[in-house]
Amino acid sequence: MTQRIGSRMPAACGIGSASARSGVANMPALVPRTSTFALTNATLPYALALAGQGLEPALRRNPALAHGANVWRGRIVHPAVATAVGEPATPLERVLG
């Protein structure tokens, strides 16, 4: 299946070789205003926490932000990243100042 940029959902779907497949290059482009509001509503609280509290306090107070940290002060703090590169993970709480 070849997907063309700007494909609408029905045109980008197909059935072949006994399997269903779908390819949509940029779904938010179909509803740009709505997707912008959705992205802003989802991310603004994190940006405000980082701006208002500072990076380290925001990571300590907000588990969702802390879960998004991969490396801190040269230490890999995200278990999946550590596994992917074959290194041990260090708990974020241990390396926060």
**Please, are residues 13 and 22 in contact by the beta-carbon 8 Å criterion?**
yes
Residue type, 92: L
62 with 20, same domain? no
Range of the domain at 9: 1-27
Mean pLDDT of the chain: 83
4 with 23, same domain? yes
Domain presence at residue 97: no
| Residues 5-40 pLDDT 10s | 554 545 555 555 556 666 666 667 778 899 899 999
* DSSP at 86: T
7 with 44, same domain? no
d(CA 91, CA 77): 5
State the pLDDT at residue 1: 47
Mean pLDDT to the nearest integer, 37-61: 95
Domain presence at residue 23: yes
Distances in whole angstroms, Cα of residue 45 to Cα of each of 22, 53, 64: 33, 12, 11
